[in-house]
Structure formats: C-alpha cells, structure tokens
C-alpha cells in the first residue's frame, strides 16, 4: 500500500498539480516500503510503485495510441523502478551503508540516478518521461539544474526522500534529536538552493521572434488527416502577425507537423508558406516531413524535419529529428507487436533518425545566430539539447505537435521540461505547439507567455541571446556516468559483503552444541537463541538504521 500511495503522490508533484515537495514524500514512501530484506520483494515493491506512478503520469499514451501501448510502456518503466528496488536491497546489505545514514543517502541517490539514466537510454533509445528532476520546475531545486542538470536534481530529490524516511524511522524509535537533524536538512537544502545565481541577461543582444499556434479542428489522430487545414491555420496566424509586425521580426516559429505537405515537393504548400513569409518579411521555421523511396517507387523511410524557409527563396536549412519515438513514429519488432495491437499498422512508413545536431541558423542584425532545435519528445533527452548548446545555440526552440493527446497533462509536462532546459543551459526557450501548450521561457526558468490548449494564437517575444555555458552543460554527462559506475560498484560490494552466509555458519555451530535440555554447550539457553532470532527477524524485515 505504501508503494501504491508513493507512486500516486509522486505524480502529484508534476504538472498539472505541480506540488513539488510531494516528489520527496513519494520517494520517502517508496523507501519505507522497501524495508524488507529481500531483493525479490524489493523488485515487487519498486514495480508496484512504478505502476501506480506511470499508469497515471503517462495516461496521455492511452489517449494517443490506446490501452495496450499505454499499459506496456507503463509496465516497462515500472520494472526499471523494480530493478532499482532490488538493487537498493543489495546495496544496503553492505554494513556501512546499512548502519550510517551519511553513506546510505548518497548511495540511494546514486542508484536512483543510474536507474533513471538507464531507462532514459534503453530499450529502443529509452523514455525519460517522469524523471524526478522534471517535477521540480516550480520549486527552489530548479536552480540547481544549472549546476548539474537532471542527474543532480533527480539525485537530490531521491536523497531528500530517503532522508525524510530516516527522519520518520528516527521519531518512531524515540530519537527526536535525529529527527530534528533530518527536518533541518529538509528545510536547509531548498533554502540554500535559492542562493544559486541564475543569469538571464543578453550576452549577444536580443532576437525578436513571432510564434504561431495554428490549432486544429479535429483533435487526436484526425489532425493528420487535415494537413491542408493545419497549414492554412498557421498561414493565417502569420498573416495576423504581418498586420502589426511586418519587417520587425527576425524569424517566425511554427510547430512540428505545421506543414505535413512538404513545401519542398508540394507546390500548393510552397505557395502558401512563401506568401506568408513575404507578408511578414521574415523567414519561417516550420515542421514538415520528407520521404525516401525505394526502387519500386514506394516510400521506404520518412524524416521529421524542421525547415527554415526564406521569403522569396524557399528552403535554405533543415534539421531532421534525431530521436524518433518508438512505437509511435516507427515500430520496432513490428510483426511481434502486431499480435498485441493492430494500431501498429497506422504507422505505414517508419521514421528514420536524422544525423545532424539540432541547429538552424537565423540572421539577426547581420549576424548568423544558431537556434537550437529539439523536436517534441527530444526535449526530454539530456544529450540532444546539450549537443545543440555545445554547437553554439544561443536560444532554444521546441517545436511540438500535441494534437494526439487531447486534454491530458502531456503538453504541460513537456513545457515543464522546456523550463528545466532553460535553466540547465542558461538559454531562452520557446515551446511552440500546433494546439498548445506553447510558451516563452526566460533563461532563469520564468514562463513569461503561455497559450491554452486547442486555441489559435499568434504572438511575439524578444529573447536574450546567450553564449556562456553553465556547469551543467558539460558536467551532467559526467555525473550520469559516475552514477552508472557507482551503482554497479555498490551492488557488487553489497553482494560480496552480504553477511547471510556467515550468519548461517554461526547458526549451524550453535545448533550443534545444543543439549537435550535446551542448553548449549556454552551454557546459553533457548531463550537466548530466541532473542537472537528476534533480532535476525527484525533485520530481515528491514528494522535497520536506514
């Protein structure tokens, strides 16, 4: 029951409820549920916690692709948490970790960060949704994103969760002094985080952008069947901007899938887009698709492109999405998956990954400014965003299409990730969606503009251009690999130093010395053995210091 409640409580830390301290409480409940000294039990408890969290947190997957994929994805992610639960049981079998909170807390955090990193990379490229770091975008711990990115913030939330659990255990055992120390830590860490400076000032001037959310008349997958309408909606929004801002904008940003008829090959789409670009007197960055064809003339691959279209010129630069979404944009193991859901055949042509870094150049005051691009779910992947910043991105754009997710929290969860990336890399971020939520975010994580779901909107924003790198841009990958190595080492030490074999040996010696009267040869009574047995049982049930 603790695991079930813990997962639900943790979800409440994320949008739409966004009560950030609940992530700490949710992890604390998981730690309390993991007290039994059994790796199998740890796996079960972790999986149950994961199911109660992910089934709610990614409910939008059911909205978009149906029950079977939603349950399958939730179950796969939940088992990753189950693996963490089993690993934690092994790690705390090492006596220094078991007996000393000062070692247990960082060990717990290291194992959690390693688990999050693993499920964010494997299988099929991973699924980073629901990382604890993304729950902290309305709280003080967000400021730490600039120092160590998701590994630092997620690890700190996990550490505070175990700290809270230790405080609870301490109070139950009549140790108010230790409980007071725990309370002090829980209060001090967020307060100290507020002291981390965040600079949002322009370093290379500013850029003025237009943002168009065209909306769709039919939410869900039907939006893809009305591509002409979607292009027209975004053209209309751009024309609206042109009425008041023609010649004033450096670029106009359209979302992913804004022009699913590729203007590079479709004359009607090209004419509409070029007309809008000429009216606003600015290039347009827009989402489209391109195809490759086999010898039989049939499409054998497609790419999710983000294209720069210059007025009167046409396409001049393109970025292809590096991380297509498995089971949505392409279908791994298609023949196997089809046995569980015929929905796989809705994806008739698999999407292939692009190979270039997410950068598109935009001319600003006679200077070519690199705009960093992370298409849709790519904003959840640490390295994709970091690579664009390393390549010189001075501002970040997250074009996305949320039409398939209805009124679920998916779009707001994605906006929270964009907020996190803004602080992590010290860059202004624009999330621009077909249907919302679109938003403008300053480099210190403040959302200055945002739209509502399923509305049309056209607006402008002046964004600071920045070139300095935060520590997180280079340090976060190092922390991830340290977490991998640390977790493996801790588990191995726990396995090697596990005292069960020594306990069994000692138990065997005691039994062999017992007499028929119930006394051992050393004079110890059966009552003494019972006391020792009680202590062993207590430890087996997790009655340990951490």
pLDDT for residue 503: 52
Q: How far are the Cα atoms of 48, 102, 115, 143, 494 from residue 479, in angstroms, in the given order?
A: 28, 20, 13, 17, 22
Q: What is the pLDDT along the chain (546 residues), one digit of tens a residue?
A: 999 999 999 999 999 999 999 999 999 999 999 999 999 999 999 999 999 999 999 999 999 888 988 999 999 999 999 999 999 999 999 999 999 999 999 999 999 999 999 999 999 999 999 999 999 999 999 999 999 999 999 999 999 999 999 999 999 989 999 889 999 999 999 999 999 999 999 999 999 999 999 999 877 655 556 899 999 999 999 999 999 999 999 999 999 999 999 999 999 999 999 999 999 999 999 999 999 999 998 999 999 999 999 999 999 999 999 999 998 899 888 888 787 777 777 788 999 999 999 999 999 999 999 999 999 999 999 999 999 999 999 999 999 999 999 999 999 999 999 999 999 999 999 999 999 999 999 999 999 999 999 999 999 999 999 999 999 999 999 999 999 999 999 999 999 987 664 455 455 444 444 433 333 344 444 444 444 444 444 443 444 455
Q: How far are the Cα atoms of 99, 102, 272 from residue 539, in angstroms, in the given order?
A: 11, 20, 72
184 Cβ neighbours under 8 A, 6+ residues apart: none
312 phi and psi, to 5 degrees? 75, 0
321 tagged catalytic: yes
The helix/strand/coil state of 469 is: coil
376 tagged catalytic: yes
Record the pTM: 0.91
Find the catalytic residue in 37, 272, 329, 376.
376
256 tagged catalytic: yes
For 86-98, letters b (16+ CB in 10 Å) and e give bbbbbbbbbeebb
pLDDT for residue 429: 98
DSSP one-letter code for 111: H
Give residue limits of the domains in the chain.
Answer: 2-193, 206-467
The C-alpha atoms of residue 275 and residue 199 are separated, in whole angstroms, by 39
Which tokens go with 156? 């700190």
pLDDT for residue 223: 54
362 phi and psi, to 5 degrees? -130, 135
pLDDT for residue 500: 63
Find the catalytic residue in 37, 77, 116, 256.
256
Fold of 206-467: Nitrilase/N-carbamoyl-D-aminoacid amidohydrolase (3.60.110)
pLDDT for residue 505: 44
């Amino acid at each position: 029951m603790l695991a079930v409640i813990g997962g639900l409580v943790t979800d409440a830390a994320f949008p739409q409820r966004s009560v950030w301290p609940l992530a700490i409480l949710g992890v604390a409940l998981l730690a309390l549920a993991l007290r039994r000294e059994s790796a199998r039990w740890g796996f079960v408890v972790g999986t149950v916690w994961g199911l109660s969290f992910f089934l709610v947190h990614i409910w939008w997957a059911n909205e978009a692709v149906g029950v079977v994929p939603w349950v399958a994805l939730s179950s796969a992610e939940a088992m990753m948490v189950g693996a963490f639960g089993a690993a934690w049981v092994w790690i705390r079998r090492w006596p220094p970790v078991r007996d000393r909170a000062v070692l247990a807390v960082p060990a717990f955090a290291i194992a959690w960060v390693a688990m999050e990193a693993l499920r964010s990379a494997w299988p099929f490229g991973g699924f980073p949704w629901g990382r604890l770091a993304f729950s902290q975008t309305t709280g003080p711990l967000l400021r730490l994103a600039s120092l160590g990115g998701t590994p630092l913030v997620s690890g700190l939330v996990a550490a505070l969760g175990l700290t809270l659990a230790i405080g609870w255990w301490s109070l139950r055992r009549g140790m108010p002094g230790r409980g007071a120390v725990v309370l002090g830590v829980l209060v001090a860490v967020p307060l100290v985080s507020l002291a981390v400076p965040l600079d949002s000032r322009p370093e290379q001037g500013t850029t003025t952008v237009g943002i168009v959310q065209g909306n769709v008349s039919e939410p869900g997958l039907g939006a893809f069947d009305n591509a002409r309408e979607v292009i027209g909606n975004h053209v209309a929004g751009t024309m609206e901007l042109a009425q008041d801002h023609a010649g004033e904008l450096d670029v106009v940003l359209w979302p992913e899938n804004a022009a699913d008829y590729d203007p590079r090959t479709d004359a009607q789409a090209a004419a509409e887009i070029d007309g809008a670009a000429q009216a606003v007197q600015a290039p347009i960055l827009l989402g489209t698709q391109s195809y490759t064809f086999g010898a039989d003339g049939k499409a054998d691959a497609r790419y999710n492109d983000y294209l720069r279209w210059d007025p009167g010129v046409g396409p001049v630069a393109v970025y292809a999405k590096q991380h297509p979404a498995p089971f949505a944009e392409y279908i791994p193991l298609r023949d196997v998956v089809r046995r569980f859901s015929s929905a796989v055949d809705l994806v008739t042509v698999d999407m292939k990954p692009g190979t270039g870094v997410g950068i598109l150049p935009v001319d600003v005051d006679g200077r070519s400014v690199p705009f960093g691009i992370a298409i849709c779910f790519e904003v959840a992947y640490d390295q994709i965003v970091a690579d664009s910043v390393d390549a010189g991105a001075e501002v970040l754009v997250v074009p996305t299409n949320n039409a398939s997710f209805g009124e679920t929290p998916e779009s707001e969860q994605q906006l929270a990730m964009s907020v996190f990336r803004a602080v992590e890399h010290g860059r202004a971020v624009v999330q621009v969606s077909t249907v919302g939520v679109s938003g403008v975010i300053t480099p210190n994580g403040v959302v200055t503009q945002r739209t509502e779901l399923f509305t049309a909107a056209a607006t402008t924003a002046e964004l600071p251009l920045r070139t300095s790198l935060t520590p997180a841009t280079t340090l976060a990958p190092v922390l991830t690999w340290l977490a991998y190595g640390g977790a493996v080492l801790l588990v191995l030490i726990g396995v090697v130093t596990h005292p069960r074999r020594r306990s069994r040996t000692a138990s065997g010696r005691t039994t062999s010395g017992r007499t028929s009267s119930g006394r051992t040869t050393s004079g110890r009574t059966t009552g003494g053995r019972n006391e020792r047995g009680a202590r062993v049982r207590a430890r087996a049930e997790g009655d340990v210091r951490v």
